[in-house]
Amino acid sequence: MAYPTQDALYDVAHSEVHSNHLLTASGDGSLRLYDVSLTPEFPIATFQEHSREAFACSWNLTSKATFASSSWDGNVKIWNPERQQSLLTLPTHSCTYSTQWSPHTDGMLSAVCSDSHLRVWDLRTPASANNHLILQIPIHSAPFSVSNAMLQPTFPPSEALTHDWNKYRQGVLATAGVDRIIRTFDIRQPKGPLQLLQGHGYAVRKITWSPHLPDLLLSASYDMTCRVWTDGGGDQRKPAAELGNMGRHTEFATGVDWCLFGNEGWAASCGWDERVCVWDVRAFMP
Amino acid sequence: MANQAPNKAQQRLSQVSNHLSSGSHSNALPSGGLGRDALLEKHPDDVVVTCAIRTPFTKGGKGPLRDTMAADLLALTFKNLLSRSKIDPTLVEDIATGCVLAPGGGATEYRAAALVAGFPESTAVRSLNRQCSSGLQACVDIANQIKTGMIEIGIGSGVESMSTQYGPGAVTEFSDLLENHMEAANCKVPMGVLSEQMASDRKVTRDAQDAFAASSYQKALKAQEQGLFDKEIMPVTVQYTDPKTDETKEVTVTKDDGVRPGITAQSLGKIKAAFSKTGTIHAGNASQVSDGAAAVLLMKRSTAERIGQPILGKYITASVVGVPPLLMGIGPWKAIPVALEKAGISKDEVDIYEINEAFASQCVWCLNELGLDEKKVNPKGGAIAFGHPLGCTGARQVGTLLHELRRTGQKIGVTSMCVGTGMGMAAVWVAE
């Protein structure tokens, strides 16, 4: 099955309500819903409100009735597939590269932006001037655990390109972007990052937590590698570390995800080399 | 993307290319954690220093430069810079000169000095005054002009003839409006008086000050004996009238005359305090009143390579901060962490700090508060030993720092100073 499109596609999400439905985020700002069981080459629905590139879409994992999109136009939008117009617009006022629903809390979603901030919204909060925004964490802030040394390591703001919610540890998120550092945060302790995972040589374009293990995550980077990391699982005694490095891509690696149904550790990645690599993470862990 | 205007595709491309450039770019803010390595990377658009020289510093009112006007010192320095660097003067687009005491900022005389030195009329000149950081500000301004593409090659410089221009004429009378505002009125409290106050408030003892000052003298003497200033000092030949005999003669000045042997903390301990009977500050633990000029030639790395200029090091970033006017001495303490943060490095990743010794009291306090290793600070001594020609010092430090980093095979340096009326400046440099 292949669908022709008029513009680049930057993200894709499976519908959580219909096994044949697939949602795409497009460079022309549109979100399009396809039914892979139908033959026509056309989407079954098009959602056109974003004025610039729609760079991410995410299906609500808890209530399943809605999905979210984020765009370079500085907005996150919430949609119901049965309605043409968005249900809600959450402004970030900054080019927004990634949005994700919390897998644990219904109505909670997050985004990371060019302005180096992680935003969290809780749609259960009453409508008010702050548009359900409950947290706005500077990603570049000094690590939380560092004691009050004279000069803490400090970081300039840097565009955040990707983030993901941990599937096991409620409230834990990871972010990454142009400054090449993957950071973990706990929204219950929003002062600063818990862990810094460093190693990528260029911007990190995509990160995703393991569906099988609470401490494992995968990343894809402009340095053409995909890497596997542990953040120590929230245990201070276990160090955060890079566990493996998959260097088979010959161009920017822009996407990576885990296989939910095969063996634990199977992954697929894509990149500007016009290839999808299907691999076993364990084969790259020395 | 058939439906897109070409500029939209271009916009998208440039946004994605930002993902790559801003993280690995040395003159942009390097990302944290990779700080030192990122700073040491070489990029074609780095702003580099290819020549950094100065005149010897001599004592205000006494030394052999006492009869030489500031503009003449500057002209001699420019001539020396041209002969040392062998740069084609027609390639220099702008010159900034820091100076504190000159009436009218020296704007007219310095343009004339550039012409005398052999720069063509096409080379622009301006003067500026940010008190004791004027020389650094001049270098930073030129570096920023190069970064933004306004000019390709420029000179940051500084000059001060304290012999001929030091005095009450340098500051206009304060109006009632300023006098009646407390913090504003504090801006004209004399440096010595407020440093004395700061020394007692911040509990910097006379012993600590004298020990620091003696060490400055000892380091400078040793450096002078070993010829460690030879790369930064270029001799100047001037007319000098001996105040005793009234005889005018031509002298060639080759070294700083403030540096003296035999100075110890004990010998300094005997000097009477200058500003109050119970005070701790005296001529021996404060910077010397001096005459001198310094100049730094700056351009992009790509330009330096194209025209065959030798690269001494590069400019990374600078900071300027404000502090209470009465505590102007704490300026470096506030400015240095800001510059380091911009550079993405920690204080321990810096190999040498050149921090101006306006007064031993403020310098000692800043070092202690910042927790700097004393061995890394002013390894060839400082203004207490060889002088502080106000507007010149910032430009002088660049050469002092880069030549010492290169000699010792070290890399990262910081120059910084406190600034009268309550400011601080700092800049990060990398030697190559």
Query: Could you say which DSSP state residue B193 is in?
Result: H
Number of domains in chain B: 1
Q: Would you say residue B175 lies in a domain? A: no
**Residues A134 and A181 placed together within one structural domain of the fold:** no
Using alpha carbons only, give the angle A148, A153, A158 rounded to the nearest 5 degrees. Answer: 130
ipTM above 0.85, yes or no: no
CB B422 within 8 A of CB B323: yes
In a domain, B174, yes or no: no
Candidates B2, B18, B342; nearest CB to A6: B2
Helix axes B360-370 and B206-225, enclosed angle (nearest 10): 90
Report residue B216 CA to chain centroid gap.
17
For an interface test with A, which of B17, B31, B36, B346 has the most A Cβ atoms less than 10 Å from its Cβ? B31
Last residue of a domain, one of A80, A103, A138: A138
Q: Can you give the residue range of the structural domain that contains B230?
A: 31-167+180-427
Do A74 and A205 reside in the same domain of the chain? no
Q: Which two tokens stand for residue A254?
A: 């822009």
A188 in any annotated domain = yes
Nearest to B20 among A53, A198, A202 (CB): A202
A184 and A109 together in one domain: no
Which chain B residue lies closest to A161 (C-alpha atoms)? B19
Residue type, B254: T
Q: Quote the CA–CA distance of A223 and A225 in Å, as a whole number.
A: 6
Tell me which DSSP letter residue B30 carries.
Answer: P
Token pair 């800049």 in the structure block, residue: B427
Chain centroid offset of residue B215 CA: 21
A285 contacts chain B (CB < 8 A): no
Closest CB to B31: pick one of A72, A181, A205.
A181
Give me the helices (H) in B149-202, please: 162-165, 176-179, 182-185, 191-201
Indicate whether A189 and A60 sit together in one domain: no
Domain assignment of residue B11, yes or no: no
With beta carbons less than 8 A apart as the criterion, state whether A144 and A189 touch. Answer: yes
Nearest partner of A119 among A88, A87, A78, A91, judged by Cα: A91
Is residue A256 within 8 A of residue A219, CB to CB? The reply is yes
Q: Are the CB atoms for A9 and A26 separated by under 8 Å?
A: yes
Looking at mean pLDDT, say which of A149-163, A229-243, B98-112 comes out highest. B98-112
Does residue A157 fall inside a structural domain? no
Q: Which two tokens stand for residue A258?
A: 């885990």
**Domain coverage including residue A205:** 164-286
Q: Is residue B131 part of a domain?
A: yes
Cβ contact, residue pair B19, A203, below 8 Å: yes
Q: How open is the CA angle B9-B12-B16, to the nearest 5 degrees?
A: 140
Q: Between A and B, how many CB-CB pairs are < 8 A?
A: 74
Judge whether A176 is closer than 8 Å to chain B, CB to CB. no
Give residue-wise pLDDT tens across range B66-96: 999 999 999 999 999 999 999 999 999 999 9
A65 and A176 co-located in one domain: no
Confidence of residue A155 (pLDDT cuts 50, 70, 90): confident
The confidence score (pLDDT) of residue B31 equals 35
Q: Can you tell me the distance from the alpha carbon of B42 to that of B39, in angstroms, rounded to the nearest whole number?
A: 8
In this structure, is residue A145 part of a structural domain? no
pLDDT of the residue at B1: 42
Q: Do A203 and B15 touch (CB under 8 A)?
A: no
Residue A277 forms contact with B (CB below 8 Å): no
Sheet containing strand A195-197, edge to edge, reads A160-165, A172-177, A182-186, A195-197
Looking at the complex, report in whole angstroms how far the Cα of residue B16 sits from the nearest Cα belonging to chain A: 10
Report chain A residues whose CB lies below 8 A from the CB of B370. 150
Cβ contacts of B333 on chain A, cutoff 8 Å: none
> Contact B337/A151, CB-based, under 8 Å?
yes
Percent of chain A with pLDDT over 70: 97
Within-domain flag for B368: yes
Same domain, A26 and A78: yes
Count of all residues that appear for chain B in the document: 432
Nearest CB partner across the interface for A178, out of B12, B22, B33:
B22
Residue A59 maps to a domain: yes
pLDDT above 90 coverage of chain A, percent: 81
Of A7, A158, A181, the CB nearest to B1: A7
In this structure, is residue B360 part of a structural domain?
A: yes
Q: How far apart are the CA of B3 and the nearest CA of chain A, in angstroms?
A: 7
Measured between CB atoms, does A197 come within 8 Å of chain B?
Answer: no
Residue A149 in domain: no
Tens digit of each residue's pLDDT (9 = 90 or more) over B131-177:
999 999 999 999 999 999 999 999 999 999 999 999 877 788 899 99
Query: What CA–CA distance (Å, rounded) separates B326 from B189?
Result: 7
Nearest CA among A279, A151, A264 for reference residue A216: A264
- Cβ contacts (< 8 Å) between A72 and chain B: which residues? 15
DSSP reduced 3-state for B67: coil
> Is residue A262 assigned to a domain?
yes
Residue with tokens 């021996």: B284
- Give the residue on B whose Cα is nearest the Cα of A201: B24
Q: Are residues A7 and A82 in the same domain?
A: yes
Are A72 and A96 within 8 A, CB to CB?
yes
Say if B15 falls within a structural domain.
Answer: no
CATH number where A194 lies: 2.130.10.10
Cα dihedral sign for A121, A122, A123, A129? Answer: negative
Residue A147: pLDDT above 80? Answer: no
CATH number, position B407: 3.40.47.10
**pTM, full prediction:** 0.62
Nearest to B319 by CA among A94, A150, A154: A154
Tell me the catalytic residues of B.
132, 388, 418
d(CA B115, CA A213): 73
A246 and A128 in a common domain: no
Same domain assignment for residues A17 and A111: yes
* Dist CA B45 CA A57 (whole Å): 38
> Does residue B21 fall inside a structural domain?
no
Reported as type and span, the H/E element at residue B36 is: helix B35-40
Residue A153: is its pLDDT beyond 80?
no
Counted domains in chain A: 2
**Are B347 and A150 in contact (CB < 8 Å)?**
yes
Whether residue A187 sits in one domain with residue A124: no
| Range B108-116 average pLDDT | 97
A279 touches chain B (CB under 8 A): no
Q: Decide if B34 and A198 are in contact by the 8 Å CB cutoff.
A: yes
- A234 or A177, which is more confident? A177
What part of A 54-73 touches B (C-beta under 8 Å)? 72
A83 and A40 in one domain?
yes
Residues A176 and A70 in one domain: no
Give domain status of residue A151, yes or no: no
| Average pLDDT in chain B | 92
Shortest Cα distance, chain B CAs vs residue A62, angstroms: 33
Q: What is the DSSP string of B42-60?
A: --TT-EEEEEEEEPPPEET
